[in-house]
Structure 1
């Protein structure tokens, strides 16, 4: 039998306490979102959003309204706020140096308005939750929302998912306030909340097309809440239609007013959003995906369940388990026809609506072939509310076990628990991972060490460390750098430095010759370019970037090119000669050997090249350090190859000549492992590199 709706929320905080909690929430939300924004470039920021902000700003300045359509996402709120950040950057002397590329300082300015807005949203979210649920639940949910590492990580970025989450969450909460009975359900308060919900829904869709999920959810929520009041069918249809049309009108008007492209080409702009949702979201990502240890085009229906498990924190996961326990308990009680407690009668409609929003987002995302963990973000604040509800329910249960005296204190204890859990979340979740909030994976499930075998890992994190390591190498400027996702590395290399994507065409390019290659784990997991990757991996990594148990990237040095293979090893396999290139130009014989360091060892190895005539007489020679004296110690995987010009007599007689090579330290020549020439030719431990003929 249906129970009447009630808006009773139990004991509440005094106004001064509410404002104190709002202030604490504001600090808790803004600090992790705005602290240290000049960190690293994510893939989409480097490839897309910095450029889109520039184009959007220029279109506004030139009043070219149609040019504000840049993508079907559509990302309009991102480009609006990014343009504000661009203006702040110009005012504070941080230029947009388009010729040289963006800097981290400039990116931080673009990010700042988004980070601030996403942080501010938590406070009205808390005030709305107070209208819907008991004080301890509302407060705890708000702190979980403010501090969840997964939410914080994307709220800081110049991107669309954080804003979609903020606006969608406000839309959901405002609509629930409008639908519940009480002051907000009568007169102007109800309609203000309803119109506000529609406006936020319009902003959510302007942020990302996934906000369209709010349209069916809002209609279903209105129908369910009005139906629960047991009105007649005509009254039900009339009220639902009136509310839904008003809500849709507010959403549509906001969508139109905030996107200049809609002013001049409304149909084309809106259909671009629909096309993005259907054709882009409906197709697997061009680079594929990764799930449960294997590269796959579409991770399937279990993907977002895994995302919730590993992207949550232990507190949230415990709360969700507690909420599941509440549902099971109420189901069993319903089957026994046991009376429901007052707090359940009060909260079940709000909880049901939040569950409906989560399930609807989950269904829409699971149907689409293109899946990433961040796509689930709009459902996360609602998940945090359910988790908070579960945590408070667990406390109620524990307090009940401890007796009536302790049970009487449960409300106060839960409120204090909210603050304690918030501090715990900051300490264990945010502070331990700052600024790499997206590297946080649930430690209760093994953290990043396990998550890397389940979900696709990495979005540009750590590239600043890669750039710093490369720049301190003595031979850094001896060639180009190849890297997956190069726009995320470019800001951390000197301006104009040759940096190319890892492709079949770049690994063998002659000028500039590639020197180092960066393999980023995300691309390796998806096997984006397996053949070039295999070529790079033939040399062991010189540096592995590991953070939080996740190996994000490796740096390899590429073999020096050669024309003639010659498999010779020295000093018990410590150093190998892959091959060489030999060219004679007049009286100069040039040799380019390709060396492979196969064991960690001291540097300081010298080489000699002797040119011998048919009688064994030396007619030319050169001695040089194998590494040009750049490295005091050598690391397994290093590759050397310098130009060795040998001067020959201008009147060199006709005949056949041999080029002999050997290696030595101060203590003597290094042993040749196999194929050494007889000592009578040129002393011990020498090999014949090549022969050439003059005048024949």
Structure 2
């Protein structure tokens, strides 16, 4: 009886632990999964639409055909990425076959490509939490997992079909499992899990090879405590290495038929791709640099943190020596944390040695950054609680961790869905990131498409864009983009789109250089206060370009150009107008056209609305160019020769003319003031530039 009574508290304790553990897993899924699934197809990145969607299709087809050598498609090698992309295709086809996907839009198709990867990332965080509980107190482990799940930089690559995010999740799991095996619990399951995840991480992207020296170092340093260090190193090394290689063979079909070809691909990825600067150039700290120096990744590490994780990193040296009394961390736990520090420093240094640099290449260390930050913040909360008089209750750590987790969750949603645009708000946020690194990878192009899709003439014109591929799929059927690769705008071009990366890299080639910084965009797409894309309206061509301002400076109208054509009975005057600001002249002015001879005699006249009866000025959109042709009837006996065309605006109520700049040419006749005088030659039916 006494034995039964003694076992009841232990059983109740186990039940409470299981309940807490179960609820924590559900909470973590509830935090991580919506952030990864909501608006999953909202925009597409350049690499996805250019490479990984198409590679996934080829990978699946090669598997179907049994052509396993053909699965060696990328030097990254991106095998896990293509497996998950192929799984998304299979899921899409299955749903479509069931009749549940009658008319999917492009965003839905993107969702299917990305969904398996998003689920894998969520599962990795949950498994990471389970592993962290073997190393850290429960509240600290849960906070670390929440910071990992809500980190905007990590989130950005957990929501797309790409290699960097998968390498990050898998490498982190491998490192955590290795820490548990060699520092906490030498159970074979952790060793095998570490090796499998390391193999999958390398199959995602080759920089995950940095895990090998770190894990080997752990094995060597842990060997003396086993009593037979040589045997321990050989046994565990063979088991880990064998499982690692077996994972490469099993998961990568190309290895089955062409292992030497796979080796060549991997070698090419390291030597050729990483060892040369990016073909499109780079941008760092406001300068165009093909090869940013050693400062690049330390700056990226700082700017890509969150205010919460940065605070944790700053506190870590202050609390490091007090982790045992504050959190009860064992020496093994502190050694595991030290492994994470070494991992961050070694990977940052290794990547800094390569000339090809992008800040996204550093994302692999950020789960480790968040784990260290969670430990430091938890220690600081406990320290502050003990300094209070009277000391704070024992619930200080859970309450503090919950508060920090809530702030991290809010921060994750604040950047949603543009986590890729996230930079530390405490260091200047998105604007500072735009001044420091190349941005724009496709985010915001769906906003560009949404605006263009609302334009009534969009299916009848072309759209010249510096970033075509992420834009085209979101346009309505019939709207076509062009890269204007010949240096001129193709016929029927109605809009020009310039993404921010082009001027950042100073790669604005013709014809785009004629718009950026010179013309006024009709619409600007901004993300978190940063202009990501500019849309310019391209009017039909005219014979003579102008830039003459009519009206007051606070509400001007600008004449952008004109063309002339005439018959024996009429002169057709085509004018292009632009409203540069939302303010417009009040009341709406009328246009007058006067044909004058050299003496200033008025030979013909027309007084009409600016766009006839088609569109009143109140309905004009700022910065868009409007074109209209006005016929000016000519006297039947008008001889050919030089004349002057006076163009002006006036208030229909007072008949007062609006001011115009510039002043008339010195040889122009007197047109009554406030008129733009244009020389014309009726005998040749041509428009002429005024003599300066």
TM over 0.5: yes
Q: Is residue 526 of structure 1 aligned with residue 505 of structure 2?
A: yes
Match of 1:336 in 2: none
Q: Map 1:652-667; keep pairs closer than 5 Å.
A: 655-656=640-641, 658=643, 660=645, 662-664=647-649, 666-667=652-653
**CA contact under 8 A between 1:28 and 1:146: conserved in structure 2?**
yes
- The CA distance in 1 between the partners of 2:74 and 2:430, in whole Å, is 33
**CA contact under 8 A between 1:482 and 1:500: conserved in structure 2?**
yes
Match of 2:523 in 1: 543
Going from structure 1 to structure 2, the CA distance change for 1:586 and 1:111 (only over 3 Å counts) comes to farther
Match of 1:70 in 2: 73
Deviations 1:290-347 (A, max 9, x none): 22222222332222222222222222122212222234779xx9xxxxx999735232
Cα deviation for residue 501 of structure 1 reads: 3.1
- The TM-score, its normalising length taken from structure 2, stands at 0.84
**CA contact under 8 A between 2:559 and 2:578: conserved in structure 1?**
yes
Match of 2:491 in 1: 511
- The CA distance in 2 between the partners of 1:51 and 1:475, in whole Å, is 31
Going from structure 1 to structure 2, the CA distance change for 1:613 and 1:348 (only over 3 Å counts) comes to closer
Secondary structure, counterpart of 1:655 in structure 2: coil
Going from structure 1 to structure 2, the CA distance change for 1:171 and 1:678 (only over 3 Å counts) comes to closer
Match of 1:7 in 2: none
**CA contact under 8 A between 1:177 and 1:193: conserved in structure 2?**
yes
| Between 670-679 and 529-538, the greater mean CA deviation after superposition | 670-679
Going from structure 1 to structure 2, the CA distance change for 1:598 and 1:385 (only over 3 Å counts) comes to closer
Secondary structure, counterpart of 1:136 in structure 2: helix
Match of 2:92 in 1: 89
Q: Map 1:479-628; keep pairs closer than 5 Å.
A: 479-501=461-483, 505-506=486-487, 508-513=488-493, 515-529=494-508, 532-536=511-515, 537-558=517-538, 561-565=541-545, 568-571=548-551, 574-582=556-564, 592-599=574-581, 600-602=583-585, 607=591, 625-626=610-611
Going from structure 1 to structure 2, the CA distance change for 1:220 and 1:579 (only over 3 Å counts) comes to same
Match of 1:141 in 2: 144
- The CA distance in 2 between the partners of 1:123 and 1:682, in whole Å, is 80
Secondary structure, counterpart of 2:288 in structure 1: strand
**CA contact under 8 A between 1:486 and 1:501: conserved in structure 2?**
yes
Match of 2:233 in 1: 240
Match of 2:400 in 1: 417
Match of 2:353 in 1: 367
Match of 2:5 in 1: none
Q: Is residue 30 of structure 1 aligned with residue 38 of structure 2?
A: no
Match of 2:160 in 1: 157
1:299 counterpart (278, 281, 292): 292
Q: Is residue 391 of structure 1 aligned with residue 377 of structure 2?
A: yes
**CA contact under 8 A between 2:592 and 2:605: conserved in structure 1?**
no
**CA contact under 8 A between 2:226 and 2:232: conserved in structure 1?**
no
| Between 562-571 and 152-161, the greater mean CA deviation after superposition | 562-571
- The CA distance in 2 between the partners of 1:377 and 1:542, in whole Å, is 36
**CA contact under 8 A between 2:472 and 2:480: conserved in structure 1?**
no
Going from structure 1 to structure 2, the CA distance change for 1:148 and 1:681 (only over 3 Å counts) comes to closer
**CA contact under 8 A between 1:539 and 1:557: conserved in structure 2?**
no
Match of 1:4 in 2: none
Going from structure 1 to structure 2, the CA distance change for 1:273 and 1:593 (only over 3 Å counts) comes to farther
Cα deviation for residue 156 of structure 1 reads: 0.8
Cα deviation for residue 149 of structure 1 reads: 1.8
Deviations 1:553-581 (A, max 9, x none): 23233465344455654335733444444
Going from structure 1 to structure 2, the CA distance change for 1:218 and 1:693 (only over 3 Å counts) comes to same
Cα deviation for residue 645 of structure 1 reads: 7.3
**Cα-Cα RMSD:** 3.7
Q: Map 1:460-479; keep pairs closer than 5 Å.
A: 460-474=442-456, 476=458, 479=461
- The CA distance in 2 between the partners of 1:652 and 1:69, in whole Å, is 80
- The CA distance in 2 between the partners of 1:179 and 1:646, in whole Å, is 91
Cα deviation for residue 249 of structure 1 reads: 2.0
Q: Is residue 198 of structure 1 aligned with residue 195 of structure 2?
A: yes
Going from structure 1 to structure 2, the CA distance change for 1:391 and 1:620 (only over 3 Å counts) comes to closer
- The CA distance in 2 between the partners of 1:250 and 1:463, in whole Å, is 43
Cα deviation for residue 678 of structure 1 reads: 7.5
Deviations 1:3-54 (A, max 9, x none): xxxxxxxx99712211111111121111211122121122222322222222
Going from structure 1 to structure 2, the CA distance change for 1:586 and 1:618 (only over 3 Å counts) comes to closer
Match of 1:357 in 2: 343
Match of 2:210 in 1: 213
- The CA distance in 1 between the partners of 2:482 and 2:144, in whole Å, is 46
Cα deviation for residue 492 of structure 1 reads: 2.9
1:179 counterpart (179, 182, 196): 182
- The CA distance in 1 between the partners of 2:679 and 2:459, in whole Å, is 29
Cα deviation for residue 510 of structure 1 reads: 4.5
**CA contact under 8 A between 1:76 and 1:207: conserved in structure 2?**
yes
Cα deviation for residue 435 of structure 1 reads: 1.5
- The CA distance in 1 between the partners of 2:481 and 2:344, in whole Å, is 43
- The CA distance in 2 between the partners of 1:559 and 1:161, in whole Å, is 42
1:223 counterpart (215, 220, 223): 220
Going from structure 1 to structure 2, the CA distance change for 1:214 and 1:584 (only over 3 Å counts) comes to farther
Task: Extract unaligned runs of 5+ from structure 1.
Answer: 1-10, 334-338
Deviations 1:206-259 (A, max 9, x none): 1111212112222122112224x174xxx4333223322322222222122212
